[in-house]
Structure 1
Amino acid sequence: MSSPQAMIFDMDGTLFQTETLLIPAYHRVFDRLREEGLYEGPTPPEERILSSLGMLLEDIWNRVMPDASLEAKKRADVLLLEEELSGLLQGDSKLYPEVANTLQQLHAQGIKLFVASNGLERYVQGVADAHGITPWFDGLYSAGGYQTETKVDLVRILMKEHQLEHAWMIGDRSSDVEAGKKNGLTVVGCMYAGFGDNQELDGADHFINHFADLFVLAASHSAGK
């Protein structure tokens, strides 16, 4: 594994402690859906949406509330973004420990940094802006912004637009492993989020238990190239 020209990060479960923003927003969404007559019954278990992180929104709602109407699912898209953007303004959400410092160090080393997320464009941008990490990135790519059906396609677009020849894909879900492998990238699996099962990161080239381990990993391969 050679020193990377660039690093491409998933957002949820990799940079961002999603549950700190998502869980309060999730409950407010279902409160509003019930108020609007689009959903009946109790809010589905939190585990359903947490285990769906990394999926496209359409797939998330099909998993969270499979029997709900299409109207309810589309409305949930709108409401979740509203509630999450509102939550970001309140300042209660968190990055994982050492994310900001590590990104700053990697950027200072001349490594190009990107985000590739299956989330909506305003959400991805909003998280980065709210936590002050936007200046260290060369690009924030989202499925919502590029209308891609898979993260494989999103990363392919990113690589082409920035003429990248070798990069690391860093994430916590099987979609990150797939996106990296199908684009010929080295994959670093993040073990600290705990949203997926034990098989999520099968096929990753390396694993980290803390985000700061990434800087050590990059430095060791830079020294060994």
Structure 2
Amino acid sequence: MAQSFIFDMDGTIFKTDTILERSLEDAFIHLRSLNQWDSSTPIDQYREIMGVPLPEVWEALLPDHSNEIRAHMNDYFLERLIENIKSGKGALYSNIKEVFSFLKANDCSIYIASNGLTEYLSAIVSHYQLDNWVTETFSIEQIDSLSKTDLVQRITEKYKITDGVVVGDRLSDIKAAKENGLVAVGCRFDFAREDELSQADKVVDDFSELKQLLQHI
């Protein structure tokens, strides 16, 4: 039976850590050049909050800075992320394209719902030609509430999805699935947490496991 699959991007499809540290270091070098930072780059702190919308990232990393500085860093960091993607410094997780091809061959629809910004997501989709399989990519920018649950709801309403699966690595993905009446599949990848994954209906260690999952839905 045909199914709809809604995938998270960072830490699920795209190995964000391949460009994360590089881009964040670039951003904080820039911040130091503005005499607005005098210590090491807070990469560990960012890993702790990985997956939240970028404006929230800068509120957490720069709690004592002005909104103007946060907005500037948000823009600069995004520029560095996109440049690193376009220059081929990132990577997808293993078996992504193979599984996407399998799902499409079985009449499944594929969507992306991400806390990433539109320009960033477009760079990934374009560089890796994901639009060969993905029907549409949705960014948290499209939702005033910045809620992954609301973003998934937007997809289900637009495409009239009543049966489907949300695949992601964090609690926001799992909640988005359950609060929209969909199956929650957790990915035990780089940024996943076991206490969050325990709330998923199914947990996978590799994308290839989604092939077997499809047969049991």
Query: TM-score category by the smaller chain?
Result: over 0.9
Q: Does 1:177 align with 2:174?
A: yes
Query: Could you tell me the percent identity over the aligned residues?
Result: 29
Using the TM superposition, give the Cα deviation of residue 148 of structure 1 relative to its aligned residue in structure 2, in angstroms: 4.1
What is the Cα deviation at residue 4 of structure 1? 5.8
Provide the rounded CA distance (Å) in 2 between the counterparts of 1:83 and 1:117.
19
The TM-score with structure 1 as length reference comes to 0.91
User: What is the CA-CA distance between 1:202 and the residue it aligns to?
Assistant: 3.1
Change in Cα spacing, 1:60 to 1:196, as seen in structure 2 (3 Å) is farther
Secondary structure (helix, strand or coil) at the match of 1:94 reads coil
Mapping for residues 192-211 of structure 1, pairs under 5 Å: 192-193=189-190, 195-211=191-207
Deviation at 1:212, TM superposition (A): 1.0
Q: Distance in 1 between matches of 2:102 and 2:126?
A: 18
Name 2:11's counterpart in structure 1.
13
**Structure 2 residue runs without a partner (length 5+):** none
Are positions 1:217 and 2:216 aligned together?
no
Which residue, out of 151, 161, 165, partners 2:158? Answer: 161
Q: Which amino acid aligns with 2:22?
A: P
Structure scoring higher RCO (CA < 8 A, sep ≥ 6) equals 1
* Secondary structure at the counterpart of residue 195 of structure 2: coil
Once residues 4 and 24 of structure 1 are traced to their aligned partners in structure 2, the CA distance between those partners, rounded to angstroms, is: 40
After TM superposition, the structure 1 stretch with the greater mean CA deviation from structure 2, 58-67 or 116-125, is 58-67
* Distance in structure 1 (CA, Å) of the matches to 2:213 and 2:193: 24
> Contact 1:44 / 1:65 at 8 angstroms: preserved in 2?
no
Q: Name the structure 1 match of 2:32.
A: 34
TM-score w.r.t. length of structure 2: 0.94
**Equivalenced residues, count:** 217
Q: Please give the per-residue CA displacement for 1:149-185, whole angstroms capped at 9, x wherever unaligned.
A: 2001101111101111111000000100111111111
Q: CA deviation at 1:191?
A: 0.6
What is residue 190 of structure 1 aligned with on the other side? 187
Distance 1:65 1:196, change over 3 A: farther
What is the SS of the residue equivalent to 1:207? strand
Aligned partners of 1:208 and 1:190: how far apart in 2? 5
Kindly indicate whether residue 119 of structure 2 is the aligned counterpart of residue 108 of structure 1: no
Secondary structure in structure 2 of the residue aligned to 1:44: coil
CA distance in structure 2 between the partners assigned to 1:134 and 1:204 by the alignment: 27
